[in-house]
Structure 1
Amino acid sequence: MMRIKLLATPAIIILLFSLGFSLRRHPAHPPIENTSIWQNYEQYKEPAIQHRMVKHADMQPLITKHVSSGLLRSSVIGSSVQGRDIHHLIAGKGKIKVLLWSQMHGDESTATMAIFDIFNFLAAKDDNDRFRQLLKEKLELHFIPMVNPDGAEVWKRRNAMDIDINRDARSLTTPEARLLMKVADDIKPRFGFNLHDQNILYSVGSSAKPATISFLAPAYNHTREMNEVRQDAARLIVLMNHTLQKFIPDQVAKYSDAHEPRGFGDTFQKKGISTVLIESGGYRGDTQKQYIRKLNFYALLSALYAIASNAYENEKVEEYFAIPDNGRSLFNLVIRNAEISNENLRYRTSLGINYSTSVNISERRLNYRGVIEELGDMQNNYGYDEVEASSLVSLPGKIITMTKAEWEKLSLESEAQLLKQGYLYIRFSDQRSPTGPLQNRLLNLINGASTGARPPGLYQYPNFILAPPEGRPKYAVVNGFLVDLSKEIRPLPNTYGY
């Protein structure tokens, strides 16, 4: 009996060792899921930032708050083309250095918002203390939360020299690029996070799902080789993908890894910095990207903890390549199989409508203008909003005439009633009406005589009614926005004056 026990013991040890190794290689879930960080997010969310159009001045009191509390060490490393300070903020005193930079494109602010939420998390004291303490003890976190403050000021991609900073890593023409490069060269981080926003019309592959978050482990050469540096970035991405799938299932994609030698991600990867690109895309109903802000906050904390605990080493690089690529199958609005009458032609087809935007800087508001960008077979395309119109016909909107004073007194309820009767335009009887975006309205203004009578056509501004033959209007399309006339009607982001 003793001999049997002695023989069995090594077998049990080997079995337990193998099981332990297997568990390490295939963790059941990311460590952050053992915390209440997601549930407690509202306690960490920076209340001073409620809008995507974050400006340089918005950050200053927040930076001062965290420097005064002792959480952050701060230095002004230089200034932008127009003289705005660029801040280098440091938290933690660990040996592993991590560099995170955001808003090198001035109109891409989602991660900037999330970074200030992360500062509040690091400053808090609650049941997640063990999690945050590990970050502070193991990591030295370096943040440049707004690389392009001049672009942020006017909500544009490029800097004040009209140069794309993320295509300036090689020539270093811009002061902002030189400053970012200098910080990286000085601190020599082990990991880097390049934080961006992408077009909300990117999809997960060719599916109907928006690519709410897209990741990339940038290539350091044109042959897209995978050395250990790039593999570690890919492992982090696999872990963050696991983290996010619970909240945005099948809405994570992979950005193109075509090598861009002018880009910072590619350049840093070549320098030996395991660099992760995060692109924040679209999520239905989240025009201010506040939910995507929360996703950034959570995914970044998950990745930082994985770095601090070496948990990313357990992830398989092959799973990175299994993440679907970014696709372009989405439109803002798709109307399927609507009947269109155009002169002597009558036919059914589908329409794809997208919005172009303009910026109202003083009011921190985006104005939208719809345009019909596709007409024809759209079986492989999808919309954030969709209508099956196979039983409906498209009709031109009617025009009602009133004085300017009557229009100014017109209530939302009255506009909704006019919309239900098929009116899409108001013409002033006593003067010309204003042109351009109109806020808090449901109807357009019009000065010309024929605009309202046009059938839907390619590259036209979409304003029409959808109704059953001989029936009451069921939907209105106003400036490209869909209004379901059977439901509660709310003001549109903006209508238009023609």
Structure 2
Amino acid sequence: MEEINYKDYGVTSISGRYITYDHIDEFLNSLPVTFKTEVVGRSVRGEAIKSVVFGNGPKRILMWSQMHGNESTTTKAVLDLFNFMNQDSMEASKIWNACTIKIIPILNPDGARDFTRINANEIDLNRDAQNLSQPESKVLKKVYDDFTPDFCFNLHDQRTIFNVGTTHKPATVSFLAPAFDEDRNNSPSRKLSMQLIAAMNSKLQEEIPGQVGRYD
């Protein structure tokens, strides 16, 4: 495996916690045509919700960030990912040929502008998957139905006060494979998610040992 240096692809022009489409549109527009950017819907206030698709592999992966408008860390992370995938490297080529990845950088643009968890109707979109009462939730559901992903990543921030278990190490990354019922039974999809998390954790431990958390 080739050595990957974050400094080679990290996006330094976009920083801070307050991130809206105003901050990232120029970057998205600068991506080559192999990254397909499109408007997939509108927010409560009518702001465009965009997606970026890249890769030509059989494994289909859907990600979305800033479902909570004030959680922008992963939005900056996906911009780094775009930059990495736009480089001529063996690892990027492997991902490009193995996967087709669709990412919504900011699902809740109104919440991003207000720097709040909720949307403009004061609804937590992360609690609206069943009701689909909000336009942003309906956008995500339609994208999911149209794209038919094999895996989904719901990307969130985490407060810096959390450590891993009883250790003094920060939970730099945390994972959750949600159960489908209150008894927390394992469905086939949850088992697959757990296997994927185990594989990611194994690699992450090489880079940030002891700094990977797990939500109950």
TM range (shorter): over 0.9
**Aligned-partner Cα distance in 2 for 1:208–1:64:** 42
1:308-357 CA-to-partner distances (Å, cap 9, x unmatched) read: xxxxxxxxxxxxxxxxxxxxxxxxxxxxxxxxxxxxxxxxxxxxxxxxxx
**Aligned-partner Cα distance in 2 for 1:130–1:45:** 17
**Residue in structure 2 matched with residue 65 of structure 1 by the alignment:** 30
**Aligned-partner Cα distance in 1 for 2:34–2:28:** 10
**Residue in structure 1 matched with residue 180 of structure 2 by the alignment:** 220
**Residue in structure 1 matched with residue 196 of structure 2 by the alignment:** 236
Q: CA deviation at 1:209?
A: 2.7
**Residue in structure 2 matched with residue 93 of structure 1 by the alignment:** 56
Q: CA deviation at 1:204?
A: 1.8
1:240-277 CA-to-partner distances (Å, cap 9, x unmatched) read: 21222233322222112xxxxxxxxxxxxxxxxxxxxx
**Aligned-partner Cα distance in 1 for 2:173–2:90:** 28
1:172-192 CA-to-partner distances (Å, cap 9, x unmatched) read: 111111100110011110001
**Residue in structure 1 matched with residue 45 of structure 2 by the alignment:** 82
Matched, 1:105 2:68: yes
Q: CA deviation at 1:193?
A: 0.6
**Aligned-partner Cα distance in 2 for 1:43–1:251:** 23
**Aligned-partner Cα distance in 1 for 2:169–2:90:** 36
Equivalent AA in structure 1 for residue 3 of structure 2: S
Equivalent AA in structure 1 for residue 190 of structure 2: R
Q: CA deviation at 1:200?
A: 2.1
**Aligned-partner Cα distance in 2 for 1:106–1:44:** 25
**Residue in structure 2 matched with residue 211 of structure 1 by the alignment:** 171
**Residue in structure 2 matched with residue 49 of structure 1 by the alignment:** 14
**Residue in structure 2 matched with residue 139 of structure 1 by the alignment:** 99
Matched, 1:114 2:114: no
Task: Indicate if the aligned counterparts of 2:179 and 2:187 stay in contact, CA closer than 8 A.
Answer: no
Q: For the structure 1 residues 132 and 253, does the alpha-carbon distance in structure 2 shift closer, same or farther, using more than 3 Å as the test? A: same
**Residue in structure 2 matched with residue 171 of structure 1 by the alignment:** 131
**Aligned-partner Cα distance in 2 for 1:52–1:112:** 10
**Aligned-partner Cα distance in 1 for 2:70–2:23:** 15
| SS of the residue 1:161 aligns to | coil
**Aligned-partner Cα distance in 2 for 1:113–1:49:** 7
Task: Indicate if the aligned counterparts of 2:35 and 2:54 stay in contact, CA closer than 8 A.
Answer: yes
Q: CA deviation at 1:226?
A: 2.0
| SS of the residue 1:204 aligns to | coil
Q: CA deviation at 1:136?
A: 1.5
RMSD between aligned alpha carbons? Answer: 1.4
Highest RCO, 1 vs 2 (Cα 8 Å, sep ≥ 6) = 2
**Aligned-partner Cα distance in 2 for 1:226–1:232:** 10
- Normalised to the residue count of structure 2, the TM-score between the two structures is 0.94
Q: CA deviation at 1:153?
A: 1.1
**Aligned-partner Cα distance in 2 for 1:50–1:83:** 25
Q: CA deviation at 1:229?
A: 1.6
- Normalised to the residue count of structure 1, the TM-score between the two structures is 0.42
How many residues are matched? 216
**Aligned-partner Cα distance in 2 for 1:151–1:209:** 31
Task: Indicate if the aligned counterparts of 2:40 and 2:50 stay in contact, CA closer than 8 A.
Answer: yes
**Residue in structure 2 matched with residue 10 of structure 1 by the alignment:** none
1:413-448 CA-to-partner distances (Å, cap 9, x unmatched) read: xxxxxxxxxxxxxxxxxxxxxxxxxxxxxxxxxxxx
Matched, 1:195 2:175: no
| SS of the residue 2:41 aligns to | strand
Identify unmatched segments of 5+ residues in structure 2.
Answer: none
**Aligned-partner Cα distance in 1 for 2:58–2:117:** 34
Instruction: After TM superposition, list the pairs within 5 Å mapping 1:29-428 onto structure 2.
Output: 34-37=1-4, 40-66=5-31, 69-125=32-88, 129-256=89-216
Q: CA deviation at 1:238?
A: 1.1
**Aligned-partner Cα distance in 2 for 1:244–1:139:** 20
Equivalent AA in structure 2 for residue 239 of structure 1: A
| SS of the residue 2:192 aligns to | helix
Task: Indicate if the aligned counterparts of 2:180 and 2:187 stay in contact, CA closer than 8 A.
Answer: no
Task: Indicate if the aligned counterparts of 2:2 and 2:90 stay in contact, CA closer than 8 A.
Answer: no
Larger Rg: 1
| SS of the residue 1:196 aligns to | coil
Provide the identity percentage. Answer: 40
| SS of the residue 1:76 aligns to | strand
Equivalent AA in structure 2 for residue 52 of structure 1: R
Identify unmatched segments of 5+ residues in structure 1.
Answer: 1-33, 257-498
| SS of the residue 1:159 aligns to | coil
